[in-house]
Amino acid sequence: MNQHDAIITGIGIVSSLGEGPAAHLSALTAPQPRPVLDAERFAPYTVHPLPEIDWSSQIAKRGDLRQMEAWQRLGTYAAGLALDDAGMKGDEALSATMDMVVAAGGGERDAAVDGAILEASLARNDRGVLINEKLTTELRPTLFLAQLSNLLAGNISIVHKVTGSSRTFMGEEGAGVSAIETAVARVHAGQSSHLLVGAAFNTEHPDHLLGFEVGGALHRDAWAPVWARQGMRGGGIVSGSGAAFLVIESREHAASRDRNGYAAIGKVASGRARRGSGGLVAAIGTMIDAVGGSGLPVISAASGAHAATAAEMSALGGRGLRDVRAFSSLTGHLKEAQFPFAVALAAIAVRHGATLPSFDTTFEAPMRVGERVLVTTVGSRRYEGAAVVSAA
């Protein structure tokens, strides 16, 4: 043990399975875990939708709530849950010295304005003039501010008074890996005593689904578990709405507050292997070795994207890692929130010594999580990450 061990003392987690650690533990350990799906609203695409949420329980002021887009509400809400869970909510001294690391996308576009521009462009050739006209007549000035990626961190600071240093990363799954990696490294180095780290993703917005589909990434057949999508129509991703925020403290800081925490998180490994050269399988294996993951059960953030998921399956199999759970089968792919969500689930499972039934009976066998578990994520297009979560 070391006074600079990184201990997870609070978890705020929301997905189609519910909100909070207890709801997710219950869903993941049910005899026959079942996803919550919506195959109608965005047909032919299936999504994992958000549950009903009482936003006011974490975002008290209506003015704050009104000016946030859905992904900002979701992230701010999950951050509040994490602070509550860690026993820090409302403690001004702790909030003022708390650092924050957020993984974020680029906000949510005004779909109605985008549609109007596209429709008008069918009848006009002066596209540059058209764009300028729409920019000056259709878009609110505040909309530009709403697209800033660091607005999620800003709203968390305003609502929850977290006013230490703040960092925001962009870059899909890689942003989530970098956020966790940075937070853990700061604690290990003694640069931060306590941090709030996480991400949110709202897939129930047309431009986010469009972004996936433009790249040919979305699954087009009937829903199937992550590992079973190879060879099916589309790109393999079924996306979901969700958020995960963690309070991570040094062991010394947690002990000073009498908090034992869920679990400890060790070294985080990350990389960007060349996908076209066949080196991805080897790169994943190298990361697993770097964090000491050999022989451990695995909480996988596999996206379902065909090439990336096949490479992860091969890398895990090559290391003899057979006890694997791909949680995206139940929650959908959460983009920037994939890795924080995986770490949160791993910490919950370690704390409770959970036995996880198969999410996919063709590939996964019943698995008991002991005192250590490997967490992996392989980005659908780029970036990989891994870490070991162990008993606190």
Domains in the chain: boundaries: 6-109+147-391, 111-144
> In this structure, what token pair is assigned to residue 279?
């080196």
pLDDT at 133: 82
**For the whole model, what pTM was predicted?**
0.92
Evaluate if residue 384 carries a pLDDT over 60. yes
Pairing of strands 18-19, 6-15: antiparallel
The full length of the chain comes to: 392
What's the average model confidence in pLDDT over 171-176?
93
Query: Is 98:195 a contact under the CB 8 Å cutoff?
Result: yes
Pairing of strands 166-169, 99-103: parallel
Spatial distance between the Cα atoms of 338 and 201, rounded to a whole number of angstroms: 9
Pairing of strands 263-271, 6-15: antiparallel
Q: Across 153-289, where does the E strand assignment appear?
A: 166-169, 194-201, 242-250, 263-271
Spatial distance between the Cα atoms of 97 and 193, rounded to a whole number of angstroms: 9
List Cα–Cα distances, 10 to 3, 225, 280, in angstroms.
18, 29, 33
pLDDT grade for 140, boundaries at 50, 70 and 90: low
Residues 6 or more apart whose CB falls under 8 angstroms from that of 296 comprise 321, 323, 372, 373, 374, 388
Phi, psi (rounded to 5 degrees) for 38: -130, 105
pLDDT at 213: 85
Evaluate if residue 307 carries a pLDDT over 60. yes
pLDDT at 119: 83
Evaluate if residue 93 carries a pLDDT over 60. yes
The closest alpha carbon to 192, from 98, 112, 109, 265, belongs to: 98
pLDDT grade for 95, boundaries at 50, 70 and 90: very high
240 beta partners = 48
Q: Calculate the average pLDDT of the chain.
A: 91
**Following DSSP, what letter does each residue of 95-150 receive, concatenated?**
HHT-EEEEE-------HHHHHHHHHHHTS-S-HHHHHHHHHHHTS-HHHHHHT-TT
List Cα–Cα distances, 33 to 27, 177, 359, 361, in angstroms.
6, 27, 6, 11
Spatial distance between the Cα atoms of 31 and 29, rounded to a whole number of angstroms: 6
The secondary element (H helix, E strand) that includes residue 326 is strand 324-326
Residues 6 or more apart whose CB falls under 8 angstroms from that of 64 comprise 155, 158, 159
**Tokens 């820090």 map to which residue?**
88
Query: Is 119:185 a contact under the CB 8 Å cutoff?
Result: no
What fold, for 6-109+147-391?
Answer: Peroxisomal Thiolase; Chain A, domain 1 (3.40.47)
State the Cα angle at 339 between 327 and 148, rounded to 5°: 125
Query: Is 297:370 a contact under the CB 8 Å cutoff?
Result: yes
Q: Answer with the residue of higher pLDDT: 184 or 130.
A: 184
State the Cα angle at 153 between 148 and 154, rounded to 5°: 75
> In this structure, what token pair is assigned to residue 177?
């890996």
pLDDT at 143: 54
pLDDT at 141: 57
Which of 135-139, 233-237, 335-339, 383-387 has the weakest average pLDDT? 135-139
